[in-house]
Structure 1
């Protein structure tokens, strides 16, 4: 396949912006299109803000398989499956079930880890070259396990990653509280903690906007917001993107980076990409004297706590089958109640603000689709809950794929 000189990138979230940067650095003239009024305003906007390079565990696993009946009945407030019977949903769920084996869980998790490592290196290279302010800091990350069985499973996964030189450590509760005193206020027993001292945090939406400014100013990229894409035609010697307005744009290649919307867009082109939305929620509350500095994940409740200056961002929940972007008051109430039950002194729960929900683009194996189905079309989508973590590495992998061909 020929190397493109021009590219239309659909999606200005962290994945689309990172893809644009990777191509623009290689001399491609890039135009970025997004239906929102600015960069990073979709799933990138209210995510957990954790760059979890060492925590790329696949969602599909034998552990989750046994819980699926309870999830379908709504017995777990952290994870719900809503009934959907359309062809895309059924096909995705069947593929997901096929990934719920121990071997596939291990393979998928390690493949995610390798991409995360590429992402960490790409982020370091970017920040060495360009000064970008997005609240970036090395915070460390702790996973809290509430039972001995869950902690044993966590240690087994940690040892699996250690064979790939990933630095994590198992701690007792007392050892963890020596590092993060905020854990003294945990309301439920903690059987053990997995700790990674070098994990990072940062504001993904701010990053997308600032990096968009860099590639516009220094690499000549064009960013077009409030520009919804209606269709893509890629069976000629160039790609044609038709906008909702009726305008047609041409380039050597179109690259789909539109998150949860990518699956539907690609299906309209008869490309079966198993990308399905999984809804998540977040809110921000004022920090307190007992707020953690280290990023915290409550494994059982599927909650993340991220310190942002004098505030705490708390994110969680996983709702499969609800593809509305609207905040459901009952689910937001579930999130706030669960967070308060987990770490009752971590935030001022009397003053929560910025209630948000977004659609994570999930694949059955928890790995993004980075491919080039034709000379004039490429895909970089399906990053699930790890879009912020995997964005920079995915952009590099996409560029390598395009330039190798």
Structure 2
């Protein structure tokens, strides 16, 4: 079979099918297309970026990539399972796949694994930042992108001390972060003035960015079609796939068979069903998150702000304010629960009362993020003609460009 070569002289397939048109899927399609691979993107939705990429927190959090599993979280699991934390809840289940996932999660809750997983995430985050810069130097894409910086605000002294220790570790691995007093934080971000006296310190990451992931998906998809001849098959349901040593085949629910040299699976939580027969059915746990987008208030933030204790994100986006929060680990229903959304609005208005027009109209959203037990995506060859790029969890928008590069680089190893 004829194959092309990339700059590293690695053999590449001539054609590839990418399943998924969220941020990970379109980024992966781009990483292949710029290497000369003929790409076909398939997604069941009518519009790209309609799943977990649609209205997430919008932060490109390249530096703050701490793993979810930690010793401190392990101590709080019974508390979370009882639903006593409004910001983070567990949905316990006797499903064997969930039990298997939680056992792996608990094994990752040691101090050593937390550090290893967090630093590996930082490395991928920094790779993503470089890949995003390279993309935007090559193509002009409109998705509300800003290099606005990010502020993490702490109201617990012990948590702040632990966070400061992590700053030193990240700095030793190439991250740029500053530890700020409350007054220093207010000087950089005036919206925090309303919280004066109610927080003990902040961590500022000047290199963090933000952007609208849904707009990114569709802007990049348009560029892929016009500049690289990528074929796009939206509103196409995939029933199953198969692959041998020579080719991969995707079968749609209408009975169509689509073939290519390589299959790239980037379908988020839907990968669970596609990969169940291949030993990966228990690799992903759904985590439901909420957001709302409102008009800016009288004192809107100029950068991303994360209230660490309440796990709420504020992000200035496209002239509006995107607020995201609430984590329900194990929840599979994507419907917006009005009570949960109201809880998020109430908590956000308590944190930053004048950041957004909370009394006005706003759009509420809920989505499912695919979590791995160590909070790191699974990027590997499943078979000679099949590669997976899944499990990005809460950092899918952040990791998309870097994980796409890693996945594309694997294709020279047929």
Aligned twin of 2:34 = 25
What's the offset of the Cα at 1:276? 1.6
Q: Does 1:56 align with 2:65?
A: yes
- Aligned pairs for 1:51-90 (under 5 A) are 51-90=60-99
What's the offset of the Cα at 1:198? 1.8
What's the offset of the Cα at 1:187? 7.6
Aligned twin of 1:180 = 189
SS at match of 1:388: helix
Aligned twin of 1:305 = 314
Name the CA shift for 1:205/1:221 in 2 (closer, same or farther; >3 Å).
same
What's the offset of the Cα at 1:169? 0.6
Name the CA shift for 1:262/1:187 in 2 (closer, same or farther; >3 Å).
farther
Mapped to 2, the partners of 1:206 and 1:187 lie a distance apart of: 35
> Which residue among 345, 349, 352 is the counterpart of 1:340?
349
What's the offset of the Cα at 1:310? 3.1
Aligned twin of 1:44 = 53
Mapped to 2, the partners of 1:365 and 1:55 lie a distance apart of: 15
Mapped to 2, the partners of 1:271 and 1:368 lie a distance apart of: 13
Name the CA shift for 1:2/1:88 in 2 (closer, same or farther; >3 Å).
farther
> Which residue among 140, 148, 152 is the counterpart of 1:143?
152
Q: Is the 8 A contact 2:245 2:384 kept in 1?
A: no
Q: Does 1:400 align with 2:409?
A: yes
Q: Does 1:264 align with 2:273?
A: yes
Q: Does 1:382 align with 2:391?
A: yes
Q: Is the 8 A contact 1:283 1:352 kept in 2?
A: no
Q: Is the 8 A contact 1:187 1:344 kept in 2?
A: no
Q: RMSD over aligned Cα, in angstroms?
A: 1.4
SS at match of 1:137: coil
Aligned twin of 2:175 = 166
What's the offset of the Cα at 1:268? 3.7
Gaps of 5+ in 2: 1-9
What's the offset of the Cα at 1:326? 0.7
Mapped to 2, the partners of 1:358 and 1:244 lie a distance apart of: 24
> Which residue among 374, 392, 396 is the counterpart of 1:365?
374
Q: Does 1:98 align with 2:98?
A: no
Q: Is the 8 A contact 2:73 2:109 kept in 1?
A: yes
> Which residue among 17, 25, 29 is the counterpart of 1:16?
25
SS at match of 1:109: helix
SS at match of 1:132: coil
1:183-226 Cα shifts (integer Å, max 9, x gaps): 01128710110001121111111011111111111111111111
What's the offset of the Cα at 1:56? 0.5
1:6-62 Cα shifts (integer Å, max 9, x gaps): 111110001000000001111111100011111111100111111111011000001
What's the offset of the Cα at 1:83? 2.0
Name the CA shift for 1:255/1:363 in 2 (closer, same or farther; >3 Å).
same
Aligned twin of 1:200 = 209
1:337-375 Cα shifts (integer Å, max 9, x gaps): 111111111111102411100000100000000000111
> Which residue among 95, 108, 112 is the counterpart of 2:121?
112
TM-score by length of 1: 0.97
Mapped to 2, the partners of 1:69 and 1:7 lie a distance apart of: 45
Mapped to 2, the partners of 1:327 and 1:309 lie a distance apart of: 23
* Deviates further, 228-237 or 130-139: 228-237
